[in-house]
Amino acid sequence: MRRHLPAFPVLGALLLLSGCQHIATVPVGKTPGSTGSAAITTPAADDNLHAVTWMQTSAEYRANSIQTYRAALAQLDSALADPQWDALVPEDRVVPAIGLEPAVVVDIDETVLDNSPYQVRLIRSGLAYDDATWAQWVAEQSARPVPGSVEFAQAADARGITVIYLSNRTLDQRAASLANLRALGFPVADESVYLGKGMPVEGCQQASGSEKHCRRQWVSRKYRVLMQFGDQLGDFVQPRPNTAENRAALMKRHGSWFGERWWMLANPSYGDWQPALFDNDWSLPPAVQRAAKQRALDASD
Ligand SMILES: [Mg+2]
């Protein structure tokens, strides 16, 4: 889940608790036979509406997720059988993979857990993400499974492959997150399989707590990683800094791993692809962010 400065953290929590609707009243004038002016209420424009509607309602989103996990499962046995097969980049592999126990590494949010109801709350309230309302959502343990993810995780577990949950949920959200996962049928070997944001990794330094490469190094000391799953490029390899150019360069370098060792879930709702277009400056007004996205569009032949 993205983490940038909240717009109205306390007010946001109150509105979410009250189920407030963010709407605009639009007068439409007199209707035939009426004695007064009528009005309809129209939801305010929200840049996230289209993406979240697609994720919640479309057969296309479900099909996309299911086919990703199904294709990964079709290749899992060959990855398991190849002792040299590893899905960590060399910078993240600090101990040779050969002979280590097999694992798959999955991000949580929008990779195995669908948090779209939280996004709906934001759309309806007209508020931005903030840590307080997000923490409340996590504590509710109400996230749904991303289509196909439970089946894949159970199949991996049945093969003796440990499922590692490498997430930017925080360490204090471990119990609620694992309870949510367990309730949906995900295998949770023990609490050590939750690698949350802020987890210290001896001998590894990183620029921000949300970067994952130190936690991938932790995994590399114990496991041969057969596959990784995520909805952000940073779930696999870290763009530094997070610019469109660096992201394109990483895709050029590692893109061939997707569909074999790495598996990307679709998330048009949020992600680091977005702030990469406006210098990662979440303090910019929404209109300025929107203009940057407009400028990034390409209509050339
Ligand atoms: Mg995610």
Name the burial class of residue 202, with classes exposed (0-12), middle (13-18) and buried (19+) by CB atoms within 10 angstroms of its CB.
exposed
Report how far residue 237's alpha carbon sits from residue 254's, in angstroms, rounded to the nearest whole number: 9
Q: Ligand 1 centroid vs 17 CA: distance in angstroms?
A: 25
- pLDDT per residue as tens, the chain (301 positions): 654 433 333 333 434 443 444 444 444 444 344 444 556 677 788 999 999 999 999 999 999 999 999 999 999 999 999 999 999 999 999 999 999 999 999 999 999 999 999 999 999 999 999 999 999 999 999 999 999 999 999 999 999 999 999 999 999 999 999 999 999 999 998 999 999 999 999 999 888 888 999 999 999 999 999 999 999 999 999 999 999 999 999 999 999 999 999 999 999 999 999 999 999 999 999 999 999 999 999 999 7
Q: Ligand 1 centroid vs 38 CA: distance in angstroms?
A: 44
Write the CB contacts of 28 (distance below 8 Å, at least 6 apart in sequence): 37, 38, 39, 40
Q: In the structure encoding, which two tokens stand for residue 298, read together?
A: 């390409």
**Does residue 32 contact residue 239 with C-beta atoms inside 8 Å?**
no
Q: State the angle between helix axes of 149-158 and 59-81 in degrees (0 to 180), rounded to the nearest 10.
A: 20
Please tell me the total count of domains within the chain.
1
Q: Ligand 1 centroid vs 244 CA: distance in angstroms?
A: 19
Whether 48 maps to a domain, the answer reads yes
CATH number assigned to the domain comprising residue 43: 3.40.50.1000
Report how far residue 84's alpha carbon sits from residue 54's, in angstroms, rounded to the nearest whole number: 39
Whether 294 maps to a domain, the answer reads no
Report how far residue 185's alpha carbon sits from residue 165's, in angstroms, rounded to the nearest whole number: 14
Whether 72 maps to a domain, the answer reads yes
pLDDT of residue 38: 56
**Does residue 212 contact residue 165 with C-beta atoms inside 8 Å?**
no
Write the CB contacts of 17 (distance below 8 Å, at least 6 apart in sequence): none
Whether 258 maps to a domain, the answer reads yes
> 226 to each of 73, 75, 90, 273, how far by Cα in Å?
11, 10, 14, 26
Domain ranges, residue 59: 9-284
Q: Ligand 1 centroid vs 109 CA: distance in angstroms?
A: 4
pLDDT of residue 202: 92
CA nearest to 236, candidates 265, 208, 209: 265
CA nearest to 11, candidates 102, 163, 128, 110: 128
pLDDT of residue 1: 64
**Does residue 113 contact residue 146 with C-beta atoms inside 8 Å?**
yes
pTM: 0.88
Whether 137 maps to a domain, the answer reads yes
Q: Ligand 1 centroid vs 138 CA: distance in angstroms?
A: 14
Whether 139 maps to a domain, the answer reads yes
**Does residue 56 contact residue 120 with C-beta atoms inside 8 Å?**
yes
Q: Ligand 1 centroid vs 234 CA: distance in angstroms?
A: 9
Residue 229 in 3-state DSSP? strand
Q: Ligand 1 centroid vs 119 CA: distance in angstroms?
A: 14
The full length of the chain comes to 301
**Which residue carries 């114990």 as its tokens?**
222
pLDDT of residue 12: 39
Whether 256 maps to a domain, the answer reads yes
- What's at 287, amino acid-wise? A
Write the CB contacts of 143 (distance below 8 Å, at least 6 apart in sequence): 109, 113, 114, 115, 117, 137, 180
Measured distance between the N- and C-terminal CA atoms of the chain, rounded to whole angstroms: 35
Q: Ligand 1 centroid vs 83 CA: distance in angstroms?
A: 29
Whether 296 maps to a domain, the answer reads no
What does DSSP assign to residue 92?
A: G
